[in-house]
Amino acid sequence: MTQFQTKPLTPSFGVEVSGIALKDVVSSGHFGDLRALFEEHSALLFRRQDFDDAAHMELALAFGPIEDRKADERKKGEVFEIPKVTNVASDSSLKGDDGMHKLHLESNFLWHSDSTFMPTPALTNILTARVVTTEGGATELASTRAAWAAMPQDLKSRIQDRGIWHHYSVSRAKISPELAKHPMFHKWPATHWKSVWTNPVNGQESLYIASHAYKVDGLSDAESVALLDELMEFCTQPAFTYSHSWDVGDVLIWDQRAVLHRGTPWPYEQPRTLSSICCSMTDSDGVTDMRLSSDGGEL
């Protein structure tokens, strides 16, 4: 790992990496070193990279299968396009409805882990800035690994060994009941995951929650919401968080098993575009061990 230099993003998690161009990590044979940093620190920052779409795809494929939420919508011959988090010419499944698209963007202001609502959730998000604003628009991270390690035992004991149910529409309903009705947020049935993810590489434990979570095994709906809110509040304290203000070319990579994230508002009249590729879990990432029965998860 001699080509990499690192410095902490926070005292509890994350490192800024320098000393090598991110676009060359795979071709130079250093992806294994980068993956080791990812497993150890949970979040990696590379500043002001020359990192085009081809390099973005190459790095993502090294992490695992590309997540493609629109595979069922794509016509024969259409190719995967790197998703954009943007207010420019709405390019999500809510295209053509600027009001709904804006609400969809605002739902990203909730703390979440990507794709906990999908049959195979995301391992990582590789996020890079293409167009930035003069203010606002930060991306914030929260380490559920560091939070779990520091959590009082009485709070831990209320969630440990329980399963948690997730559904895409749940997070959207927190923004707008109308938004939550959109077919995009009902593609997948509810998922059921263990509450604590054990990293298969180093044995470190993390709480696995998200804004999509709605029900805890053995608790009523009201008790579930109250506990999930309490856990989220604990995990997103300043001691466990990092806020990144973007420059064009910055790249953030984080472990979705151990890190929550959210966007922050920006002046909506200013264009902002981030390119985002999520990579799906594989068995080697621990997903099979996390999966619980899907019976009984109706909303």
Instruction: Please return the burial class of 297, using the count of CB atoms within 10 Å of its CB with bins 0-12, 13-18 and 19+.
Output: middle
Enumerate the β-bridge partners of residue 255: 124
pLDDT at 297 (0 to 100): 59
Cβ atoms of 165 and 191 within 8 Å: the answer is yes
Distance CA 170, CA 112 (A): 11
96 pLDDT higher than 70: no
Both tokens of residue 144?
A: 């559920």
Distance CA 89, CA 131 (A): 13
Work out the angle at residue 191's Cα, subtended by the Cα atoms of residues 263 and 211, and round it to the nearest 5 degrees: 25
Report residue 61's pLDDT band, with 50, 70 and 90 as the boundaries.
Answer: very high
pLDDT at 2 (0 to 100): 57
Residue 79 vs residue 298, higher pLDDT: 79
pLDDT 10s digits, 1-44: 457 899 999 999 999 999 999 999 999 999 999 999 999 999 99
201 pLDDT higher than 60: yes
pLDDT at 119 (0 to 100): 96
Both tokens of residue 6?
A: 């690192």
E strand or H helix at 275: strand 273-280
Report residue 94's pLDDT band, with 50, 70 and 90 as the boundaries.
Answer: very low
Residue 298 vs residue 228, higher pLDDT: 228
95 pLDDT higher than 50: no
72 pLDDT higher than 90: no
pLDDT 10s digits, 227-282: 999 999 999 999 999 999 999 999 999 999 999 999 999 998 899 999 999 999 99
At position 67, the amino acid (one-letter code) is E
Outline where DSSP puts E strands in 15-95.
Answer: 15-18, 43-46, 84-86
Under DSSP, the state recorded for 12 is S
Non-local CB neighbours of 228 within 8 Å, separated by 6+ positions:
164, 209, 213, 214, 216
pLDDT at 266 (0 to 100): 93
pLDDT at 93 (0 to 100): 44
pLDDT at 295 (0 to 100): 74
Domain 5-290 maps to which CATH number in 3.60.130.10, 3.65.10.10, 3.40.50.720, 3.40.640.10? 3.60.130.10
pLDDT 10s digits, 48-58: 999 999 999 99
Residue 101 vs residue 59, higher pLDDT: 59
- Alpha carbon 265 to chain centroid distance? 17
In 3D space, the residue among 150, 122, 135, 132 whose CA is nearest the CA of residue 253 turns out to be 122
pLDDT at 296 (0 to 100): 61
At position 180, the amino acid (one-letter code) is A
Mean pLDDT on 153-169? 98
pLDDT at 268 (0 to 100): 87
Cβ atoms of 94 and 184 within 8 Å: the answer is yes
pLDDT 10s digits, 130-151: 999 999 999 999 999 999 999 9
What letters, b where the CB count within 10 A reaches 16 and e where it falls short, cover 180-216?
bebebbeeeebbbbbbbbebeeeebbbbbbbbbbbbb
Work out the angle at residue 157's Cα, subtended by the Cα atoms of residues 151 and 158, and round it to the nearest 5 degrees: 100
pLDDT 10s digits, 207-238: 999 999 999 999 999 999 999 999 999 999 99
In 3D space, the residue among 28, 27, 23 whose CA is nearest the CA of residue 3 turns out to be 28
pLDDT at 88 (0 to 100): 85
Cβ atoms of 178 and 101 within 8 Å: the answer is no
Distance CA 116, CA 168 (A): 8
Mean pLDDT on 288-298? 82
3-state secondary structure (DSSP) of residue 298: coil
Distance CA 246, CA 248 (A): 7
pLDDT at 294 (0 to 100): 82
At position 241, the amino acid (one-letter code) is T
Mean pLDDT on 167-185? 95
pLDDT at 76 (0 to 100): 86
Q: How many CB atoms lie within 10 A of CB 96?
A: 8
